[in-house]
Structures are given as C-alpha cells and as structure tokens.
C-alpha cells in the first residue's frame, strides 16, 4: 500500500524546480553593472561588492567570471568600444550625419553616453590610462587610419580623433540639443570640418613650422 501524501508533500511536488541561472546572462548583468559604476565613479572608487549587488549576484561570481576588479574593468572597457564602427561609415554622408548627431542631446542615446563617460573616467586615472591607451590604438585609431587612407594617415587620424572627441565632450557638457538657426549653423560648420579632415585639406592654409 502506497503511503498517503501530506499537504507538505503536495506543495513540494507542485513547486517548480529551481531555474539554473544562465551563465551568459549573469556575465552580461555583471558587465552592465560594472560599466555603470566605472562611468559614474571611476576605477579607484568603484567597489566590486556594489557592482555585484547592482547585478543581483554574489560578489564571488565576479571573480569567477572576470578574475577580479582589473579583469572586470578591462572587459567593460572593451565592451564600451564595441565593434568597428567605421565599417558603417558612408563617406558621402558621414560629415553631415556626424554633425547632426553632435547637435543633438547626449541623452538621446543613454548607452552611448555612458560608454563615453566611462572612457573619460578611464583617461583621467593613472591606474587605467595605460589600458585605455592600448585599446584606443587598437579599437579606435587603427580603424580610423584605415578608413581615411592615403598620405599622412597617422597624423590625420590623430587630428580626426581629437576633433571628434572634443565635439563629444562639448555635447556632453552642453547637455541639450541645439535648436533654430544656431543648430543649422553648427551642423554646417562641423560638417565642413569633418569634410576637410576626410579630404586631408583641414588646416591646409597654415604654414608648417
């Protein structure tokens, strides 16, 4: 004769089996929380326990997936650069499209703004600046040099990057989209600058030392 099931047995039988945490989802949650913390506080002030808390995981999982704070920072830094964006740049429309984007609010794309703030934080810390420098050369400068091509690509790419980053900083500080006649003037002038850099004619009227 089979034993009768108690109420407790019934509840246990009906309770769904615990779901296994998806490893990829866990890793991504930690990475997203880390990017937010590093963007807000910088490397030195960010705390692994707080990052783990924001991700909803135990702090031990951070070490399991990333090996520690430096490993997590490096992976978050790589993720902030993303894929090679130059592959989607259209020479015919790049200058105007970029100028229009720069005239808009930095809050239009919060994820991109957070990534840029993260990179700025990394650049100002002696601990992380060397890591950033290596990745900038690999993920940013090298694709730009290849995209620009032709003579003096190294110098042109450096000027191009400096101008682009400078405009991004100005947009971040400005905090709002431009409007009216100022917006149109801004877009026209910024587009002219990038067109000149692409053609290698920006600053051509200056005499070299």
Res 12: pLDDT:
43
Of 189, 202, 198, which is closest to residue 92 (Cα–Cα)?
A: 198
- In 3D space, the residue among 71, 70, 72, 68 whose CA is nearest the CA of residue 30 turns out to be 72
pTM: 0.69
* Domain 22-80 is found in CATH 1.10.10.60: yes
Angle (CA) 113-119-124 rounded to 5° is 130
User: What pLDDT, on the 0 to 100 scale, is given for residue 208?
Assistant: 40
DSSP string, 91-118: TTTHHHHHHHHHHS-GGGSHHHHHHHHH
pLDDT at position 83: 59
Residue in 48, 55, 53, 50 with CA at minimum distance from that of residue 31: 55
Q: Is 29 left (phi over 0), alpha (psi -120 to 50) or beta?
A: alpha
How would you write the pLDDT of the chain (209 residues) with one tens digit per residue? 444 445 545 444 444 444 445 888 999 999 999 999 998 888 889 999 999 999 999 999 999 999 999 999 988 888 877 656 677 788 899 999 999 999 999 888 777 777 888 888 888 888 888 888 888 888 788 888 888 876 677 888 889 889 998 999 999 899 999 999 999 999 999 999 999 988 875 555 443 43
Q: Quick check: 131 and 77 in contact, CB under 8 A?
A: yes
- Relative orientation angle of helices 94-103 and 180-199, to the nearest 10 degrees: 140
The structural domains of the chain, with segments of one domain joined by +, span 22-80, 85-199
Residue recorded with tokens 């989607």: 88
């Amino acid at each position: 004769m089979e034993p009768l099931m108690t109420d407790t047995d019934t509840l246990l039988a009906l309770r769904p089996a615990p779901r296994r945490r998806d490893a990829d989802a866990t890793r991504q949650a930690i990475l997203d929380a880390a990017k937010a913390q590093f963007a807000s506080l910088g490397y030195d002030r960010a705390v692994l326990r707080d990052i783990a808390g924001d991700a909803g995981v135990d702090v031990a999982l951070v070490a399991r997936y990333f090996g520690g704070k430096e490993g997590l920072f490096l992976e978050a830094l790589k993720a902030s650069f993303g894929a090679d964006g130059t592959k989607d740049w259209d020479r015919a429309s790049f200058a105007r499209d970029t100028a229009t984007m720069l005239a808009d609010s930095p809050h239009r794309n919060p994820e991109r703004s957070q990534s840029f703030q993260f990179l700025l934080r990394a650049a100002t810390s002696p601990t992380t600046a060397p890591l950033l420098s290596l990745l900038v050369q690999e993920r940013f400068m090298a694709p730009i040099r290849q995209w620009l091509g032709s003579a003096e690509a190294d110098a042109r790419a450096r000027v191009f990057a400096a101008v682009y980053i400078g405009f991004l900083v100005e947009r971040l500080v400005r905090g709002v989209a431009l409007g009216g006649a100022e917006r149109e003037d801004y877009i026209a002038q910024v587009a002219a600058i990038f067109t000149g850099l692409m053609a290698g004619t920006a600053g051509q009227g200056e005499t070299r030392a």
